[in-house]
Structures are given as structure tokens and as C-alpha cells.
Structure 1
């Protein structure tokens, strides 16, 4: 593909009406399969737009640099490979061989630097500073990325018309640093959907966005006022916002959802949005259970970062809590963003299934504790709407 090509590098992804989830939830459940991108995740949208804009501005010889062994790094590698540009990905020592192999498969140069991500990031920054022909690629905190991600909402709007649906009753997505959520907010504004409820789901132990929203609210619950010991408050003077900064992560989904703190712009847009944001924090095990159920129902593997969204698709009580049924009984139209992720395989799914089974075996009548909005709690039965009874 020519670097001068002005067309977007991504292709439209499918929006499918899920029969098993629709039946389970008694809604029209639409799945936006962002896992269909070359990098297996939604990040390819914004990343490829960033690459194309940079090539137009700086020319074909520009060298892209990013520090990320996750979906942002692979999205950058895929986008630059398609565009015929150079890309170097910095990873900490000990990065998985499978990740290195995947990145090199997209013709990216991989450099191992430091023992931790921050050390790899510093090495990437130093490389950019020492070479004027290089550009540091952002992972999630950049308006160009958000603009690219917003295209999924434009597609959803056009695709829903096939079912004679003008707008959804809610859009559910997961949140890490907030790049995807920012894109959805921007996309909703373009479609005049500012009033459409957005449900932002995270795992407890990596939920920096939920905590950040509450730090800027008047909520008085213990969840809102008592931060975990591994979380500190950072004040951003330019936006006059308080942000939750995670000094460590306590969630297995942190490989993709584990941003130290959310993008300031995302928090600001969320707080100002007419329709607001409905925040949900769930335990890892609920996300694992949803990943297994989704694989069984839709023959698709997704990371925990993605199955966190799907927890609302497999627990009717949870969806009804954050997106209540219509008083007149009309069927709800709910979109779930299947954001994907490349760091998952059959072995992971088998482990997820074992962990969930062990938890249920210890306490067959147990409940998942889910925190939503200002700190309200809903307890959901382990076995309610499980993969077995969704069939």
C-alpha cells in the first residue's frame, strides 16, 4: 500500500445480532467485532490514523517508536507495516517470546530495555529525542487516536439501520486508559447520541477510570472515599481534575486494562457528557466466566480486557441494574464492543475455566460482588445466566 494513500487503513468490522445473548438478556444484543482488525483489537483504528497523519506531515521516511508489548504495540506494528513505514517497539526484559514473535511478524524491530515497562518507555523516549526523524507513538492519550476510534460508532449507526434501529439504548465497553471510551464519546457526539447511555466496565484492581470519576464527584460511599492502598490521587492543574494513579495492579486483566491513570481528556469528556457514563467494576473471576461463555457461544477467544465488557452480556441482573428495562416493555437494543486482544489462547481459556470452577466449588451459592456508579453494590449469583443455561 502506498504511503500517500489517503484512505483509512482499517476496514469496517461486523456488527452481529447475537441470538444466545439476546435470548439470555431478553434484549436485542448487538456485538461489534473489533477483534476483526489485523491487530485483533480496536486500537488499530486510532493507531493507523495516527500513522497515516504522521506520514502525510513528516514524509515517508519517518520512524515510529512505541513502548508497548500489548495491543497498542501490535496495532502500531500492523499499521506501519501496511503503510510501508519503519516501527520499533520497546519492551522490558522478560517479554514473552510469543509477543516478540508476533511483533516481528509485522516487520517491527523489537528492542528489550530495562526490567519494567517504565524503563522501556524511558529508553523509547531517549531514542526519539536523539533522532529528529522519529516519532513517539501514544498508546491511548491522544485526540487523533480518539478520532480514529470514533469511526466504530459511525459504523454502528449505519449498521443498526439494517434492523430499523435509529439508536441503541446503551453501548457497553471496557476501559483501561480510556482511549476507546474517548473515541466512543467523540463518535456519539458526531451521531447526535450524547444522550445514549455508555456503560464503562473495568476489573477491580485496575479500575483507575471508575475511581477517577468518583474523585471528581460528590459521592460519599466508602468505595468513593477510601482508595485502595495501592492507589494515590494526582491533581491535574490544567484540567482541574483529580485522577486515580495506580502504583501497582491487582487484576489479571491489567495486561491490557492496566493503565496507571486514565487519560485526562477522557475523564473530562465523561464528566461533561450529557448522558454521563455508568461505571462498573467487576471481579476478575466474573470476567473469566464471561470469556469462557463467549468462546462457547461465539467460537471466539478474547482477552479479559474484552470479556469484562461481556460480563454485562452474560449476567442479566447486571445489565438490568445499569440499563433498566423500558417501563412500557419495549425490547432494549444494546451494543457490546468486542474489543478483542491478541494475548489470549486456548490454554488461557482452560485456566479461566478452572479458576471459576474452583471458586464455585468452594461456595456453590456464592455471589460476585459488583460495584457500580457512585459505589452501589449488586451481588450476582455465580451460576446465574452461566454458559450452560445461555444455550
Structure 2
């Protein structure tokens, strides 16, 4: 058993850390205030090779694995979870094409992503969050393809995306077995995207409603066979959840960094905060959960790269890191005391950014359902 990274992995980790400190961190606060994503950062990240790194090399990507994605994601999200999420979330839209796309689809769409276009993964609906099988968007067969009618909500990067992977019911009576997946062009007639939704945190990451009014999608844009959409989505999550776990890992690392810096500088009752055992124990517990988060995240990613089924490990990593990040952000504010509640310091933003980690990509409760189900099957 070897827990060390390769030289190449350390290089890309260092590159991501340096880029995050130089290009992301200075814009984090203002982007949160403006509720906007600074597009220039995406171009710079593209130029140094930090986006779309999991796309196969034959289609213009770097051909790197799930672990490398986690390493990069951790560093970018340490600087800003909103900006980091926006830079990394293309993986979620690319994975269904990688999982179920044919050669023509991969060549057409991976090339565009490698060139810098954004894409969205459109599954969640107003009445179907955790219960993906309850989606109501329909895909009606027509001559040459399908007509999509319905709506989606909380779709990451929808306002930036030039294409979307959309899940819709081709057989509304068949439950999850009636869901199919489609690649849909953003400029399709009848497709409209709402303004970015107001959010508590991760404000630099645009998240929107998407509406489909008899949107025509050619049959050539269906991913896999009819009825395979739910399976495609679940396989995608096995690959993407280690990345989302790395979102939480990066934020927890930032909580540790900020708390340590404050606790070693700030004095109370004549001594540094860290010299008070109550504070020292909080910091130690933060470090414990950070290290556990890192090991769980890297394990889930490593299993995916080995071609092994990682459903349980991906859910464990996602649930643990999300909960740890929310806990660490709460502890960071407590360590900062009254100043932690002030916008003068970064921990209040970390707190706001952390909460949704326990909700999107499958809530912490859903992850526990998955874990329990897999335990019963074992």
C-alpha cells in the first residue's frame, strides 16, 4: 500500500496551488459580492492546463484521471469554492458523454470543451431533487428526434454553457427506467435560461433555471439507448463525487489555514488563542477531519482510476467531506469569535459556501441511503 503521489501528480498539484493563490484568491471576495464569475480566470486556467483535464488525450484533453481531478479541485476550491466549482464542474457534463457517448459525439463535443466552452449537467427539477426518478421533463418522439418539454433548476453554469446534458422522460410511466439522456445545444429554439438564482453562498458560481418548450433534439444527440439515462447519471456520480468531495476538502483546508493563522496571532487573556487548550483542541479536531477527508477522497478517486466499483467509497467521501467542511466552517467562526461573523474576515464566506456541499450532488442523507443499501447487498 502506497500513499505517496507520483512526481507528475505533485507537479499538477503544485501548479494548481500556485494558480489558485495567484489568479483566484485575489478575486474571491469581490466575485462573491458581485455574484459573478470572472471569465478571464477560466481562460487563464485553460492556458495552463487546469480545466477539462479528464478529457481523453485523443479528443484534446490531458487524459488524466479522477485522482488528478481531485488534486486540482482541492487547490482551486481552497482559494474560492464558487470560482473553483465553476472551473471544475464541466467534468460533470463531460462524464455522461464519456460513459455513454459514441465516437461521433465524443469527437464533436469533447473538442469544444477542450477549446474552452462550458457545459451543464441538467437533471434536478423543482419537484425532483434527491428523487431523480421523479423528474417530469419529457422527451417526445417526433420525426428525426425528440421534443423536450419541461424545466430544470439549480443547473450549474447554465448561463455560461453552450451545451447541456439533459435528462428527460421518454417513457413517463416507467419510473427511473423511463429516463433518457440527451446532448442539447444551448441555442436550440425553445430553450431558455433564467437569470442566476440568488444564493447564500458560492455566489461566483452561476446556477440557473432552464426551460424547454418543445425543444427539438436530433436522435443523434441521444446518449445511449432510451431508458438508460438514470443508469448513466448514477455512473456519472460515481466518477464525479470524488471531485465534489474535493470541493469540501479544499474548503476544510482553508478553514484550517485561516484558523491557525488567527489563533497564533490573536491574543486573549494574555496569551495566544492557540495556547488555550479549548482552542488548541478545536484546531486539532479540524486537522483530524481534514486528514480523514483527504484519505477518503483520494481513495474514492483512486478506485475509479483503477476501474473498480467505487459507489460506496464515493458516497462515503462525499458525505464525510461535506459534513466535515460545514463543521470546520462553524468551528472557524467560533475560533474567530465576533470577528468571524464580520465580512472583514474570510470565515463567514467559508461558512456560507460550505452549506450547499451537504445538499447538491446528492444530499448527505442520500449518501447514507446509498451506503446502507450497498451494505445490505454485500
| TM-score of the pair, normalised by structure 1 | 0.28
Question: Whose relative contact order is higher, 1 or 2, with alpha carbons under 8 Å and at least 6 apart?
Answer: 1
Higher helix share: 2
> How does the TM-score come out when normalised to structure 2?
0.29
